[in-house]
Amino acid sequence: MRAMQVTAYDEPLSLRELELPVPRPGEVLVRIDTCGLNFGDTLMIKGTYQEKPPLPFTIGMELAGRVVGLGDGVTTLAKDQRIAAYAGFGGLSEYAVLPAEVCVPIPDEMDAVDAAAFLIAYGTSHVALDYKAGLKPGERLLVLGASGGVGLTAVELGKLMGAEVIACARGKEKLEICRKLGADHLIDSDTDDIRAVVKSLGGADVVYDPIGGDQFKAAMRACNPEARLLPLGFASGEVPQIPANILLVKNLTVLGFYWGGYARIKPGVLTDSFRTLIDWYVAGRIKPHVSNVLPLEQANEALDLLRTRKATGKVVVQVSQPE
């Protein structure tokens, strides 16, 4: 089988031929159709992600495909069943062996591109806004990095959950996509004063932040009393230092959030979220926004779209051609 692998940190991926893996008890062999890329994949390539597999390894945190082999003891899945999975890594490969428990059956209504763009982006935003922040109808939600893969889902889900959504992104073109997905107010992070605009709108009750840096600082100072802040990542490259005196004065809550960690500490949170999200998808209430689909051989170019922030929504790699 072919796979795009990290053979040295901070270097382009290499296309390599590997032996087909064999599922062990409790695992399934999956023929991968599509792989959704995430900012965390770029950090894995650098060797700076919170999980660091030994070299060489195959990146690709989320994937969609079809079960083609069953290990002993697997009873929850069947051969030829379509699934999506949060694998952590391994998605940029034509086949992968995965624990059966991380595979989510997907409905016929969901195509392979949508399935690969679904779990992390929607799952992250849904668990963050619903389970962690307890977003309520009528609250004001500020989404930083709103045109990115997770940012757009936060805009879409925030609106679906009844919030007044402020989307912050770079440039009119990206902001227009946010508006189409439900944003009530738009902030251009290149030209607008985030703090001033948010305060003029009445302040933020919940802040969703995959960016960090100066944007987090500005958002925190535009929060209403008892607001909740969700730092999800630091695409700016700067991890903000949070002044406790501001938290104290406004009774703010900062909620540390790593979506993937729930697979280990509380998997039921993820499975409950997936069930809700898939129901919303089938009902036509949500639809992944995929800006680019590239073949496996062009995975390096696909990753560059994330690094340079040229993508809006998700970037998906077509690993295997549909049969």
**Are both 2-118+288-318 and 122-259 of the same fold?**
no
Give the mean model confidence (pLDDT) for residues 166-179.
94
Across 196-215, average pLDDT: 96
Q: Where are the alpha helices (DSSP H) in the chain?
A: 39-46, 112-116, 119-126, 149-160, 172-180, 194-200, 213-220, 244-250, 262-265, 267-282, 299-307
Flag whether pLDDT at 322 surpasses 80.
no
- Give the SS3 label for residue 188: strand
What value does the CA radius of gyration of the chain take, rounded to a whole number of Å? 20
Average pLDDT estimate for 198-226: 96
Q: Domain 2-118+288-318: which topology? A: Quinone Oxidoreductase; Chain A, domain 1 (3.90.180)
pLDDT at 275: 87
How does pLDDT run across 19-36, given as a tens digit for each residue? 999 999 999 999 999 999
Q: How would you classify the pairing of strands 223-231 and 204-209?
A: parallel
Distance CA 209, CA 232 (A): 6
Terminal C-alpha separation, the chain:
16
Stretch (H or E) spanning 251:
none
Distance CA 317, CA 319 (A): 6
pLDDT at residue 323 above 70? no
Q: Give every CB contact of residue 300 below 8 A, 6+ residues apart in sequence.
A: 4, 12, 13
All structural domains of the chain with their residue ranges = 2-118+288-318, 122-259
If you average pLDDT over every residue of the chain, what do you get? 94
CATH code linked to domain 122-259: 3.40.50.720
